[in-house]
A and B are shown apart, each in its own frame.
Chain A
């Protein structure tokens, strides 16, 4: 559906459509899988057997909440980072957050196997380490420009990836496999604890993003222009970066590497709803949640008797999306 067509619909109709799509995806996520649950069962109209009860409440429900939250969080971070850095390619990957998390997880699995249960914690601190490295090097460079921060992000990302790859190369194959699988992303370990840990971060980030909507809009034009409107550009950018680092680190720590959501969803939202920060942030949260839940459901049913890593699917869809955008621009 094009932006023009969407714009012709009144706001309540658009909101209703969004809600219907969200409910539909949630419904599919809860009912589909190796143990099918009928609509009547989900709506409480028919009794569920013990197996269905367990699958629904122990597995699918926490997984649904986590997929909604992770999709919303990653897309929100992408939107905030892209606007705050005025870079359409900015996402948690560009600032080394995912490489840092990967290094943390690798150290927990390979170097300190006795700490393996704490992999998410190691991944979280790995991601934070990456952001601090980026900020430290970026802030100490003489120019202190936005470009230096982005270049530092790329450099730190590659440096941490190189260390991770070396550790994987030197480790025993079984452990390396475990890390590789983690890096491909999965929501199969979802629990309500994960949801409880990630949700406050996502909500606080969204709330701050909405409160600072005008300031975020002003940043899109130029730093000088934003400053002339009273926006404290550097502190605002720093807070956004740190919040996004915390959100993405928490998501990557529990779900592994899920690429392209943070990059792709904000672009799609811009083309559908426009770019003022309120539309962008709320749209990204909604579409990110719908997208990742849909993809997670697909990842569970595409192959018989096994799951596809979700990161593989998001990367595949993301790359196709960007190619289609490229062709659209060429034609347009």
Chain B
């Protein structure tokens, strides 16, 4: 069995405008892992995802994708293997849900190719998967933030990626869909790297957690290894307690001050 990691960071540093954003990150992610990126605002989670999208270039160090330097992959070649679901500000012009999901075909279609019956079948399946089968002809701009997020997930499914990047995928979503989106992402059986603010969601769904603080990787391991009282209190600067999640075999984190003021 091929043991080449899907993603490998080797001493990767990132500077933007002379400011150090990420410091000497070294880690490898194996195929099929669901990895949660944790950390307070400004820790470098989104920057790390952008490095994987080649939006930023490392100042030093190397990133490898499937054993090859990431830079060897062209934009289109990378898009056929890596999909991103990120936050969107409301689009100015209106597209239908089907238009948005079908964009997932861009990396796989030549310019002159039209959509086949199979593509349209796949569109329906992707929308069914995210619970929006009845919204195919609806306007994307008029959907709620949560529904838009699920449409973008359906688009990522259409992209048939090896690696799925989720940038705060559960923002805007109600409780039901917070779990639903992560369950769907898990069910895809691809490698997932998700930046998540909700530590309990991360604990529940991720195989492995990377905790970032001020651009440094301060912990890397399973939920039990990373979600520890001292570490989280220090990184998030707020007292926390850890106990067992009654719904699953994973830690549960509670933050707060005792006096509640």
Binding site for B on A (CB under 8 A): 82-83, 86-88, 211-212, 214-215, 217-218, 220-222, 224-225, 227-232, 270, 274-276
Asked if A228 and B111 sit within 8 Å, CB to CB, the answer is no
A82 to B78, CA, bound (A): 28
* Interface flag for B22 (CB, 8 Å): no
- With a cutoff of 8 Å between Cβ atoms, the chain A residues found around residue B95 in the complex are 217, 220-221, 275-276
Which interface residue of A87, A211, A231, A275 has the most chain B CB atoms within 10 A? A275
A229 to B78, CA, bound (A): 9
- With a cutoff of 8 Å between Cβ atoms, the chain A residues found around residue B235 in the complex are none
Asked if B55 and A275 sit within 8 Å, CB to CB, the answer is no
B interface: dominant SS: mixed
Asked if B79 and A220 sit within 8 Å, CB to CB, the answer is no
Asked if A274 and B96 sit within 8 Å, CB to CB, the answer is yes
CB B44 to nearest CB in A, in angstroms, measures: 17
Residues of chain B at interface, number, CB under 8 A: 34
Asked if A231 and B106 sit within 8 Å, CB to CB, the answer is yes
Q: Please name 24 pairs of A and B residues whose Cβ atoms are closer than 8 Å in the assembled complex, sorted by A.
A: A82-B93, A87-B92, A88-B93, A211-B111, A214-B103, A217-B95, A220-B95, A221-B95, A222-B91, A225-B84, A227-B53, A227-B55, A228-B53, A228-B165, A229-B104, A229-B106, A230-B78, A230-B80, A230-B106, A230-B107, A231-B106, A270-B93, A274-B96, A275-B95
* Interface flag for B102 (CB, 8 Å): yes
The residue that B76 contacts in the complex, of A218, A222, A225, A230, with Cβ under 8 A, is A230
CB A57 to nearest CB in B, in angstroms, measures: 38
- With a cutoff of 8 Å between Cβ atoms, the chain A residues found around residue B105 in the complex are 214
CB A264 to nearest CB in B, in angstroms, measures: 15
The residue that A218 contacts in the complex, of B78, B86, B106, B111, with Cβ under 8 A, is B106
* Interface flag for B57 (CB, 8 Å): no
A217 to B89, CA, bound (A): 16
> Across the two chains, which residue of chain B brings its CB closest to A224?
B86
Q: Decide: A221 near B106, CB < 8 A? Known: A86-B92, A228-B84, A270-B93.
A: no
* Interface flag for B170 (CB, 8 Å): no
Q: Decide: A225 near B88, CB < 8 A? Known: A230-B79, A275-B95.
A: yes
